[in-house]
């Protein structure tokens, strides 16, 4: 199977997973990226069965609206029953690196505001140690060089993602050569650097369920 077919398979599995949760008052959280986009495209067929969605990015909000799905602000939606999103890397503890699409801050907020996080990913995203994928760190623009120096002190090789402005008006530093032994500790440590808005480690609040696309079908891990 191609990677696109694996993404399709996990998107379909996520639809099956959330279908029993839906109802006229239900608002769900929806992530960002090519895997999440496949989920959104399938969600369109169910749009009469739930109230709407909270989007983790402007791109996702646009796609949801194009399908006729109502988009709500998290502020008005309250706690969400479920959040569905992809990942750039995921380990056996269902800790992730996210933010390859620069949507990490809103993704982390919507995930934190949801009772259940369902991660959908193809098998290429699994790893035993996070950090093979460069860890994104969102910074306010005036702090970029300072934060980069602090990241070097922690052993990373940060690279400014030129030309990228996040939905929050901020910038991204991608941390190369940064294998992460203890993701929860590192997530908290990075959060403490002044000027960091969010880092792409999703360990303190990891996924509750991984739907993993493999050659042998979709595997469930929780
Ligand atoms: C965006 C993300 C995405 O979930 C992550 O980049 C995975 O994307 P894709 O499904 O396209 O591989 O974190 O900020």
Whole-prediction pTM: 0.96
DSSP string covering the chain: --HHHHHHHHHHHHHHHHGGG--TT-EEEE--SHHHHHHHHHHGGGGGGS-EEEESSHHHHHHHHHTT--EE-HHHH-SBS-EEE--SEE-TT--EE--TTS-HHHHHHHHHTBS-EEEEEEGGGB-SSBTSSPEEEEE-GGGHHHHHHHHHHTT-EEEE-TT---TTS-EEEEEES--BS-HHHHHHHHHTSTTEEEESEE-TT--SEEEEEETTEEEEE-
Looking at residue 56, what is its pLDDT?
98
How do beta strands 171-176 and 135-139 pair? antiparallel
Ligand 1 pocket residue status of 213, Cβ below 6 Å: no
Q: Which residues contact 19 (CB under 8 A, 6 or more apart)?
A: 46, 49
What per-residue confidence (pLDDT) applies to 142? 98
How crowded is residue 162: how many other Cβ atoms within 10 Å of its Cβ?
7
For CATH 3.30.70.260, the residue range(s) in the chain are 135-198
Residue whose CB lies within 8 A of the most ligand 1 atoms, among 37, 40, 98, for a mutation test = 98
101 is in an annotated binding site: yes
34 known member of a binding site: yes
Is the CATH code 3.40.50.1360 the one for domain 3-126+204-216?
A: yes
Can you give the pLDDT at residue 102? 98
**pLDDT at site 22:** 95
pLDDT at 55: 98
Q: What is the predicted pLDDT for the residue at 110? A: 98
CATH 3.40.50.1360 range(s) for the chain read 3-126+204-216
Q: Say what the pLDDT of residue 166 is.
A: 98
Could you tell me which CATH number the domain at 135-198 has?
A: 3.30.70.260
What is the pLDDT at residue 32? 98
Per-residue pLDDT, 21:
94
Q: Give catalytic residue positions.
A: 107
Q: Which pLDDT score is estimated for 106?
A: 98
Determine whether the annotation assigns residue 167 to a binding site: no
Ligand 1 contacts CB of residue 40 (under 6 A): no
Distance CA 104, CA 94 (A): 16
pLDDT at residue number 189: 98
- Asked if the interface predicted TM-score (ipTM) of this complex is over 0.95, the answer is yes
Q: Which residue ranges of the chain lie beneath pLDDT 50? A: none
């Amino acid at each position: 199977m191609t990677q696109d077919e694996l993404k399709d398979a996990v998107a379909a599995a996520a639809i099956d997973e959330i279908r029993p949760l839906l109802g006229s008052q239900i608002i769900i959280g929806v992530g960002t990226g090519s895997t999440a986009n496949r989920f959104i495209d399938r969600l369109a067929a169910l749009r009469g069965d739930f109230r709407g969605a909270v989007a983790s990015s402007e791109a996702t909000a646009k796609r949801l609206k194009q399908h006729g799905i109502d988009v709500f602000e998290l502020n008005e939606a309250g706690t969400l029953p479920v959040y569905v999103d992809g990942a750039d890397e995921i380990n056996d503890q269902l800790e992730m690196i996210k933010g390859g699409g620069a949507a990490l801050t809103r993704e982390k907020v919507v995930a934190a505001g949801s009772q259940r996080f369902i991660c959908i990913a193809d098998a290429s995203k699994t790893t035993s140690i996070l950090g093979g994928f460069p860890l994104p760190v969102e910074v306010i623009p005036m702090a970029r060089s300072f934060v980069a120096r602090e990241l070097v002190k922690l052993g990373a090789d940060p690279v400014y993602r030129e030309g990228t402005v996040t939905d929050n008006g901020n910038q991204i530093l991608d941390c190369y050569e940064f294998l992460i032994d203890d993701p929860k500790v590192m997530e908290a440590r990075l959060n403490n650097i002044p000027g960091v808005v969010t880092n792409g480690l999703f360990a303190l609040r990891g996924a509750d369920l991984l739907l993993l696309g493999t050659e042998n079908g979709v595997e469930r891990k929780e």
